[in-house]
Chains A and B, each alone.
Chain A
Amino acid sequence: MEATVSEAYGEPISAGASPHGGELTVRFDKAVDVGRIEMLLRQARERGGPAPETVSTLNLVAILFNAAQYERAREALEVAGTLHPCRLLALVADEVIEEESLTASVSVVRSGGAITMERVVLTATGRAVRHLESAMMGLLRPDLPMVVVWGGRPHGDLLKRVVDSADRIITDSGARPPSHLAETAKLLSRGAPLGDLAWARIFPWQSLAAETLDLPNLREHRGNIRKARVLCAGAVGSEGLLLLGWLQSRIKRLEVEIAAEGHVDEASSARSTAVPRAAPMGLGHVKLLELTAPPATFTLHREKDLLLAQVKGDDDGWCAHRIRLPPETPGRLLALELKLLSGRDELYAQAAIAAAKLLPAGRT
């Protein structure tokens, strides 16, 4: 059980990406030694001076399925985890690599004299993957909620066990084929406390639609909405389906339609600015929402960093309302979802279950 390779303080010993400055890394031969990891955490905390206080509001567990996935998620996890001080346990399980290996990297993040994040990255390949779950159980801080960021498909025994033990599980159905929403809906029907970054992505569309119907001269249309149509960029995505699912769950006998149009502008995603901008339109993201409430039609669409709501009746139409899209920073959506530390978002559950019913044809 003992680690057979000596610890290196701040220097990599395993193949792969360089660790962060101040990272302590250990490789285990057979199984994870949780006690050794706790000891390394203590050392990491005490480095650079007397042991400072540690502030934690949750256990943030990220379950990812290869190193590349972890690298893509790393910044968002760190930023979100700093906004919500936590112990971050990143479990990277790569069964595709046959050779067995088990490595733990440990570091801390300090802020204002306190430790605001303890980070443990457990990477396992081959059959060593089976050790990760029990290692995670041993490393959880007591008395704190456990929120799991799930990087895989929303199915399987592991996820079922996670659903039973976690206070909340956050997925991103926008990063997966929309057909997987059916599996998400099944879990939600059984009461799983799921959250979804794709759901957080459509908050501005929901706000614009709701605020537009609050305008005094447009309230008369609230009871007349008959049809909703969503256009997605390039391909039908989960965000569009969730938006329609939400509308269907809120408005009785609503006819819905979803389609894809155009393509995604890769160049716009490359722009780099001093001040963060709204996220560029991605594949499958919502580009237009149209609500038909005869004799009026409401068209919500995106123009650069704004969402605009146009209303047309017997006239040429006018711009009724607009909102600014929030600036996109790493971890923003995750940090939003982490504000709900336990339990279900009932609105999301209803929307996702309704969205799943729009599959497989989705009336495209």
Chain B
Amino acid sequence: MNELRDLYQEMILEHSRSPRNRRVIDEDAGDVHHADGHNPLCGDEVTVYVRLEGGTVADVSFEGSGCAISTASASILTETLRGKSREEAEEVFRRFHGLVTGTSEASEEMGKLLVFGGVSEFPARVKCATLAWHTFRAAIEEQPADGPVTTE
């Protein structure tokens, strides 16, 4: 049960029950980008919206529903990446990916994202944790992706 508690930390359960920033950002609100993400393994779908202001993430939100891990991950993504520059967001993605795949060490500066540290013990769930992140990345790509992003 301990590993399960590591996976489903209280903050993850809380965000999955009450996700933050689950909404659409209006296309007319400025430099708004969005992308669709799809996890073919479970059928989960997510859309991530990003409003940029001079290369900085001024607002970020998501829509869609999924498992507790993917919903909490999308929710915490929106809290973490707001106010970050593209480069900073890329760095956060890199660290988050390293954390959930167990390929790099956790560091204190990752803040809230550390609650996803337990995911690396559950390889089948890594895609749940990273779906919204891959989708965010696709949304801010200069060249829009051809069709939805997948975790495959």
Same complex for A and B? Answer no
